[in-house]
Amino acid sequence: MRAALFTVLALLVVAIGIARSAGWAEAATPRVAVTPRVAGASAAAITVGGTIEVDLLGAPTSTMIDAARIVIETDPGILRYRAGRTGPAFDLLLGVREGPEPGRVRLEVGRTLSPWPSAIVTLGTVTFVATAPGTTTVTVVTAGTGRTRVAGDRREVQIEAGTLHVTVAAPGAAHAAAPPPSSGASAPATRPSVTTLPVVPAVAPTVAHGPAPVAPATGAPLQGWGPSGDSPAPGAFGMIPVGYEPGARPIDQRFEVFYAAQAGMRLLGRPMGDGMGVSPSGATEQYFEKGRLEYHAHEPEGWRFQLGLLVDELIALMAAIPIGGDSSSLTYASLARLRDPVRRLPAPDDFGGGVATLADGSTFIPFDAALAPAPGHAVPERFWQFLNDPSVFPNGWLHDAGLPISPVAEAVVTKGMVTRRILVQAFQRTVLTYDPENPGDYQVECANVGTDFLKANGGPR
């Protein structure tokens, strides 16, 4: 009897292992088939001195991929790299550079959009100039990598390679596109229609009822994405107005108790300028590096002290101010696009309100002041843990930070002379950043939205 029981248990363990392997194999190795094409064709012909734009078309097997590093190779004696840009599916250019091997170009693109659509999409476009006559190929190297939408997830993304055949003729010579080896004729010179592919089914989220849970600090830091060789361009922005230098003035006595009751330096930073009388909003207010503290005398007790809606105001100004560094690939003008309601995720089917813990460990928050069922955004675990730190947000995340108004985006920033990649997510009253190269307690921070507003507006509102 005991032996039979052990046998059954052993078979059950093996069956569970097989089921897990079958169910998780796809998630463990997401794949992308990347094919270079020119106007939809697999072959092209140009003359020396002409340029050719090579579209990198991607067909994913997972909609959870949000960054990709694609390496393409050609004969540098025939085609020379000129420029690279992203396609509409990957709207953030993380870097493009040649080398280190001759003839190789590495294009790194990222997404600030919703999960990758289950269709053929353009990842990016690389422009070459023809320098000598001959026949060559533009080939996707299979050693490309990528990252999934889970913050800190560094799983490899298998790149399935494709090839473009290019013929370069001398000026004035007749030429024809070289057909691919597998066919006697080139593909039609039209862009392909979008083909719907099977969607890898996502794991249904579990709904967290009652108080918002505090997620553990999990997930590896963003590593393995070395400097791309490109420095993000600084945004066009002004200087800090005279009289608002950080720390030059004391905290207004009306705000001292509130500031001392929480980690004021983490939430607000240093004061900027004096406390002012009644503002256009009817509140007494003072600017700080990370926000604007307001006192609303006629609000209920728990809502008299508030952080102003500076993020909304900066977006309304379309401020081209870099977020997260001295220069950045992300500005408040960029956030205007990310804040579009079409970027919000639908609420889980069984969502009854509050927040929902998703399968990847992130937390779904509906865009609704009462947290009623509605589309919203997913907040990564690291941000969610920070938002639930009572020493920083003693009045609760909804009071002090507000609702998330954008998906998580990756930004390339410079801090001093160093280029870094960080994660950014905007909320109504603050912007959270995650920099894995910061000291442990300061990897997640509130961005300097107070400083940024004073620069963009030339002073207080």
Cβ within 8 Å of residue 233, ≥6 positions away: 327, 329
17 domain residue, yes or no = no
Rank 102-111, 147-156, 206-215 by mean pLDDT and report only the highest: 102-111
pLDDT of residue 76: 85
* 3-state SS record for 322-355: ECCCCEECCEHHHHHHHCCHHHCECCCCCCCCCE
23 domain residue, yes or no = no
Domain end, chosen from 150, 169, 188, is at: 169
**DSSP classification of residue 276:** E
Same domain, 294 and 376: yes
Same domain, 240 and 337: yes
Same domain, 103 and 47: yes
195 domain residue, yes or no = no
> Mean pLDDT score of the chain, rounded to an integer?
73
Look at the alpha carbons of 247, 253, 254, 260 in this order and tell me if their dihedral is positive or negative.
Answer: positive
Count structural domains, the chain: 2
- Reference 429, options 412, 454, 404; nearest CA is 404
Same domain, 236 and 365: yes
| Residue whose structure tokens are 């309304």 | 316
- Domain housing 90: 30-169
In the chain, the percentage of residues whose pLDDT exceeds 90 is 23
Range in 37-51, 195-209, 323-337 the model is least confident about: 195-209
Do 123 and 90 form a contact (C-beta atoms < 8 A)?
A: yes
Tokens coding 240 = 């800090």
Same domain, 246 and 150: no
Look up the CATH number of the domain holding residue 72.
2.60.40.680
**pLDDT for 78 beyond 50:** yes
Taking the C-alpha atoms of residue 50 and residue 169, their distance in angstroms, rounded to an integer, is 10
Phi/psi at 144 (5° precision): -70, 160
H helices present in 342-414, as ranges: 381-387, 397-400
pLDDT of residue 3: 52
186 domain residue, yes or no = no
Residue 167: strand pairing partners:
45, 135
Same domain, 149 and 237: no
**pLDDT for 253 beyond 70:** yes
Element (H, E) at 23: helix 2-28
pLDDT of residue 214: 31
Taking the C-alpha atoms of residue 64 and residue 199, their distance in angstroms, rounded to an integer, is 10
pLDDT of residue 397: 93
Same domain, 237 and 158: no
183 domain residue, yes or no = no
Domain end, chosen from 119, 152, 169, is at: 169
Look at the alpha carbons of 5, 7, 9, 15 in this order and tell me if their dihedral is positive or negative.
Answer: negative
Phi/psi at 55 (5° precision): -85, 135
407 domain residue, yes or no = yes
Same domain, 340 and 448: yes
Same domain, 145 and 281: no
**Alpha carbons within 13 A on the beta-carbon side of 177:** 20
pLDDT digits (tens, 9 = 90+) for 54-68: 888 776 555 556 666
pLDDT digits (tens, 9 = 90+) for 4-17: 544 434 444 344 34
13 domain residue, yes or no = no
Range in 178-192, 379-393, 428-442 the model is least confident about: 178-192
Phi/psi at 317 (5° precision): -75, -10
- Reference 273, options 460, 134, 440, 402; nearest CA is 460
Tokens coding 358 = 């998703």
pLDDT of residue 86: 73
Cβ within 8 Å of residue 234, ≥6 positions away: 322, 326, 327, 328
Same domain, 221 and 165: no
**Alpha carbons within 13 A on the beta-carbon side of 307:** 33
pLDDT band at 150 (very low <50, low <70, confident <90, very high): very low
Domain end, chosen from 121, 141, 169, is at: 169
Same domain, 242 and 364: yes
Classify strands 158-160 and 31-37 as parallel, antiparallel or unpaired: parallel
Q: What average pLDDT does this structure show over 165-190?
A: 53
180 domain residue, yes or no = no
pLDDT of residue 17: 45
Phi/psi at 42 (5° precision): -95, 5
- Reference 224, options 153, 140, 327; nearest CA is 153
Taking the C-alpha atoms of residue 95 and residue 443, their distance in angstroms, rounded to an integer, is 23
Q: What is the CB neighbour count within 10 angstroms for residue 114?
A: 15
Instruction: Tell me the three state secondary structure of residue 254.
Output: coil
Same domain, 294 and 340: yes
DSSP result, 200-213: PPPPPPEEE-SSPP
CA diameter of the chain:
89
